[in-house]
Copies of this chain bind each other. A is one copy, B any other.
Amino acid sequence: MHLTTKGKYAVTALLDLALNETNDFVPISDLAGRQSIPGPYLEQLFRYLRKADILISHRGPRGGYKLSRPRNEIKIGQIISAVEDRMDATQCSGEGNCSAGSKCLAHNLWTDLNYQVQSFLMDKSLEDVLKNATYKDVNKKQKNYKLLIATG
């Protein structure tokens, strides 16, 4: 399971796009500049998002990108799915042959972890994140869980 800057950059850029939503196309240089993302790198990521029908592009002056549908219909999970290719936590890509042809002792654990992460990401749209609404209550409990995160 690997969430890289690819996924993080993509989500951030699309949040920016959703925030500054108009009918105009927004050039990549604007997004990259505002969000401190290397332009050519973001360009590369936007290829995947266009292929996944999340973005619409237009060339030439006044060209750029815009969201293919309303921001409440684009899920964070869809964005990440479009740019990341190693989000699966199982050792066997879900095939159940992780230990000498059959399931390893931890197989179901990783499958369930997959489900946790996926449902979290698929339940949230760009709009949800901008509103910071649907998951605000979760925030308050965070003090109980510091062990996994480096605090230095």
Contact = CB atoms under 8 A, between A and B. Distances in A.
Interface in A88-113: 88-89, 91, 93-94, 99-100, 104-106, 108-113
Contacts of A3: 1-2, 89, 113
A19 B112 CA distance: 20
A85 interface: yes
A129 B149 contact: no
A105 B35 contact: yes
A106 B19 contact: no
Given A94-B149, A118-B147, A11 B106 contact: yes
Contacts of A117: 113, 116-117, 148
Interface residues of A, number: 60
A97 B148 CA distance: 20
Given A87-B148, A94-B149, A121-B148, A135 B112 contact: yes
Interface of A: 1-3, 5, 8, 11-12, 15-16, 19, 35-36, 76-78, 80-81, 84-85, 87-89, 91, 93-94, 99-100, 104-106, 108-122, 124, 129-130, 132, 135, 138-139, 141-142, 145, 147-151
